[in-house]
Structure 1
Amino acid sequence: MHAKQYEITLPADYDMGVIRRRVAVGGHVLDDRPGLGLKAYVIRERGVEGSPVNQYAP
């Protein structure tokens, strides 16, 4: 099994709704990738649950 995860830190005033919409609209494009067993898109939103930053981890 191989796993890859990386974080992209976004500006403090970045509209995280942009990321949510991007995943909702285009997240399916890798669904038929051979061998793909799990796919996750993770966000941290500044000020939510103690997060000091906006981050996106595709």
Structure 2
Amino acid sequence: MLVSKDDDFRLLQLREPRARLLWVTMGNCSRAVLLQRFEVVLPEVLSALESGETLIELR
């Protein structure tokens, strides 16, 4: 799984749908805020991956 804020990776994932991408669209924030958000959404992200999702957006 790739974690990126770069839209180019989202476009790449659309062309290669087997690739799994966590696309971060939160805007600029500190590392601490980003890690806190990851902790909150981790169960949802894992559930989405288990159900076969390949593009997950983190807002």
TM-score strictly above 0.5: no
Structure with the greater alpha carbon radius of gyration = 1
TM-score (norm 2): 0.35
Q: Which has the higher helix share?
A: 2
